[in-house]
Structure 1
Amino acid sequence: MEAAAEGTTTISPQLAARAERHDLLTLGIEEEYLLVDAVEPRGVETVEAVLDEVPEELRPGVQHEYLRSQIEVASPPQLELVGLYDAMVTLRTGLADAAERAGSRLLAVGCGPAAGPNTRLVDDPRYHRMRERFGDLSPGQGLCGTHVHVSIPDPETGVRVLNLLRPWLPTLQAAAANSPLFGGRDTGYASWRSMMWERWPTVGPTPYLRSHEHYLTLIADLEASGAMLDEGMLYWYARLSANYPTVEIRMGDVTPTLDDAILLAALARALVATLLHEVRSGTEGPEVSHPLLMAAHWRAAKDGLEGLGLDLATRETRPAWRLLRQLVDYVRPELERHGDLQMVTVLLDRLRSRGSGAARQRALLAKGTPVAGVVDWLARTTRGEM
């Protein structure tokens, strides 16, 4: 969900000039988290108390989410992955500390793993209008995702990048999968959040766009249809930011570790940078059919990184890990050019050895760990203790 404005802070003139001078792209991360009781694994409506405990210096990067058991952070734009990592460590740790002072715990997880009552909306006029029009499309304690912003030169170019991004996004979604549990049981999906999220009328793959004018026309038509209140409710898997000169890739579940989040952000930036070269060379990109894209995203939600994914170039299923390696190989020159290749190689190896968030939760369950123990693990991992 979005509040009236996105949380990513404005880029400084110095950083913008440096990026332009070296033809590099800036990036930023938004993460949504679940708040659970300090002892029990259920979600709790403590967002206002948590916000009261957030240190003053962190408040520009922290905001409400849709439900009172959720909270969101946004990094400032960065050029270097180390700077992004440091900014997100500060935000995660500071917010986890604030949550504990407010009698709750912070979880980086796609949806509520444990059973518990549905939580109420944040008292915001926009959210009340959403509930009035769309009803209870977000049951439970909250749906929490990761969004990555990557700078683009202009909206027209951004639209062409969106067209080229479409076949790659299921692979990123699979790598982010981190919500196998809901209401105290294994759902059979690596990302159950993805399945619940698709209830909203504007959630889905970005359509193939003819121009920026076409993009704006679709937004106006969707608003006129009643399917969304405003541009903030354009929940396509990739879109243009309404407030900043960026492409926003709505990656999938929030990941349990910052290692995973930084890896996916780096791949997203390298992918956008690679596709910008394609745009400048006149490549239009394949018009992959909407049903096939939906099938690929369903497969990503079902299997995550440890199963099969749909290769949209060949229309064949392949191991999801092979598709991720294929993406890394494709964007390798831009990983090198942005100075990210070494860190990405390390983080990719860690993800391979540890498994996705969904796989790690299931590994705990297989050892006999109860759901409450999985929640304990998520709280420690969110803080960077695991």
Structure 2
Amino acid sequence: MKILTMGVEEEFVLVDRETRAPVNRAPEVIRRAARELGDQVQAEFFNARIEVCTVPTAKRGHLRDELSWLRSVVGAAAREARCMPVACGTPVLPPGDPLTVTDTERYRLMARRFAPLVTRGDGSARDDGLVCGCHVHIGTLDRERALALAQHMRPWLPVLQALAGNSPYARRRDTGHESWRSVEHARWPTVEPTPDLDEAQYLAHVSRLVEAGTLLDSRMVYWHARPSEHVPTLEVRLADANADLDTVVLLAILVRGLASTLLPRAQDGVPPPRVPGADLLRAHRLAAAQGLGGMGLDPLDGRERPALDLLDTLVDFCRAALDTTGDLLWVREQRDRVHAEGGGAARQRAVFRQHGRLSAVVDALAAATVRG
């Protein structure tokens, strides 16, 4: 079995060290961090958000070490800018000052083209669009293979979404969801499961969406799993950003294990499982609302089952691939930890129950982000 490489993109919201509210200091933080990280630290749509990117690797230890290094450098740069990076799907507290859009031609054009998603009627920026995700890249894969693999992976992705739920709070309130980011991000076009398209159909479909003005360009295809348009990978992009670093590594390892398990079927032309669209959307809604503590839909037979059981099913399904890469024992240890502690949303709510302050939740997230 060929061992696929993996890479991770993490988005962080920048919060003021005193108010814990999001602040528009990304240009300063990026300028300082880039002295060491170069283009591995990048701007995002809002000036209150930044992104770090790992290089491709086949080794779990290498991935974890690099993510830890990236977080450490960004944390130091943010301290100099009087703020903190926080890995969380949605900001716990609202911005103190209006959000500003990063000053690039593409982002300015996006802000104009999709103004209802970015600004309110009075012209002020909407703060419900400030969301942070964690994207996993698997490669090297050309577009044709990435598309076929994405379609085979579709029934399993809600399980990974439930694992990564880390946005129960937004704008000072408990949303009742494990991943409120999933709800807010879905306002953008094409945030949905991968359609059943071959390469020629994909190119024609995206071209029509761009011509119609639904998308700005092919980089705005926001499917849960998509062929990347800037590197030769499959990009899985439905997870919340997580402060707990081992959760991020577990997510990447499971995405890689799932891809390795299903790729031979995709390459051999085996048809992907035919999951009714309504069932697939329901599975994603359950994952967003209930996370690991609730119910989900079994990827194999569509029955409703506890989400933690579905995580066990995924690990078992990928067992051979995980064993080949030397990750099986570690994954089982992390699975046991998740069973005992719950996911990121559960940890956030536990901090609030203990301290009774949302600022304490922000502090715990910030500490865990840099400690990683």
TM-score with structure 2 setting the length = 0.94
Residues 1:135 and 2:123 aligned together: no
Q: 2:343 aligns with which of 352, 356, 362?
A: 356
Partner of 2:61: 82
Residues 1:33 and 2:12 aligned together: yes
C-alpha distance after superposition, 1:327-348 (max 9, x if no partner): 0000010011122212222222
Matched to 1:161, the amino acid is: L
C-alpha distance after superposition, 1:65-112 (max 9, x if no partner): 110100000000001000011110000111011111110011000011
- 8 Å Cα contact 1:148-1:251 kept in structure 2: no
Give 1:323 deviation, angstroms. Answer: 0.6
Give 1:316 deviation, angstroms. Answer: 2.4
- Cα separation, 1, equivalents of 2:339 and 2:79: 31
SS of alignment partner, residue 137 of structure 1: helix
Q: 2:212 aligns with which of 219, 222, 225?
A: 225
Partner of 1:13: none
C-alpha distance after superposition, 1:197-256 (max 9, x if no partner): 0001111111112x1111111111111121110111000000001122210001310111
**What RMSD over aligned residues (CA atoms) do the two structures have, in Å?**
1.5
Partner of 1:54: 33
Give 1:315 deviation, angstroms. Answer: 2.8
- 8 Å Cα contact 2:34-2:40 kept in structure 1: no
Q: 1:319 to 1:55 in 2, by over 3 A?
A: same
Counterparts in 2 of 1:6-21, with a 5 A limit? Answer: none
Q: Specify every segment of 5 or more residues in structure 2 that has no aligned partner in the other structure, as ranges.
A: 119-125
- 8 Å Cα contact 1:163-1:284 kept in structure 2: no
SS of alignment partner, residue 292 of structure 2: coil
Q: 1:153 to 1:64 in 2, by over 3 A?
A: closer
Partner of 1:249: 236
- Cα separation, 1, equivalents of 2:40 and 2:250: 21
Residues 1:113 and 2:92 aligned together: yes
- 8 Å Cα contact 2:41-2:53 kept in structure 1: yes
Q: 1:327 aligns with which of 295, 308, 314?
A: 314
SS of alignment partner, residue 117 of structure 2: coil
- 8 Å Cα contact 2:93-2:172 kept in structure 1: yes
- Cα separation, 1, equivalents of 2:102 and 2:142: 34
Residues 1:202 and 2:190 aligned together: yes
Aligned length: 363
- Cα separation, 1, equivalents of 2:371 and 2:294: 27
Sequence identity (%):
40
- Cα separation, 1, equivalents of 2:106 and 2:29: 21
- Cα separation, 2, equivalents of 1:379 and 1:45: 17
- 8 Å Cα contact 1:113-1:184 kept in structure 2: yes
- Cα separation, 1, equivalents of 2:219 and 2:230: 10
Give 1:56 deviation, angstroms. Answer: 2.0
Matched to 2:115, the amino acid is: G
Moved over 4 A (4+): none
Q: 1:338 aligns with which of 320, 325, 330?
A: 325
SS of alignment partner, residue 42 of structure 2: strand
Matched to 1:279, the amino acid is: A
Give 1:152 deviation, angstroms. Answer: 4.1
Give 1:153 deviation, angstroms. Answer: 4.0
Matched to 1:119, the amino acid is: L
- Cα separation, 1, equivalents of 2:161 and 2:207: 28
- Cα separation, 1, equivalents of 2:136 and 2:192: 17
- Cα separation, 2, equivalents of 1:318 and 1:56: 49
Q: 2:79 aligns with which of 75, 80, 100?
A: 100
- Cα separation, 1, equivalents of 2:300 and 2:316: 15
Task: Please say which of residues 312-321 and 78-87 is displaced more in the overlay.
Answer: 312-321
Matched to 2:80, the amino acid is: R
Q: Specify every segment of 5 or more residues in structure 1 that has no aligned partner in the other structure, as ranges.
A: 1-21
SS of alignment partner, residue 92 of structure 2: coil
Residues 1:272 and 2:259 aligned together: yes
TM-score with structure 1 setting the length = 0.91
Partner of 2:298: 311
Give 1:127 deviation, angstroms. Answer: 0.9
Matched to 2:284, the amino acid is: H
Matched to 1:301, the amino acid is: A
- 8 Å Cα contact 2:34-2:41 kept in structure 1: no
Q: 1:159 aligns with which of 138, 147, 151?
A: 147
Partner of 1:170: 158
- 8 Å Cα contact 1:55-1:94 kept in structure 2: no
- Cα separation, 1, equivalents of 2:76 and 2:316: 39
Give 1:303 deviation, angstroms. Answer: 0.4
Partner of 2:102: 122
Give 1:136 deviation, angstroms. Answer: 4.1
- 8 Å Cα contact 1:171-1:320 kept in structure 2: yes
SS of alignment partner, residue 12 of structure 2: strand
C-alpha distance after superposition, 1:125-182 (max 9, x if no partner): 1111111111142531721000000014432222211110110111101100000000
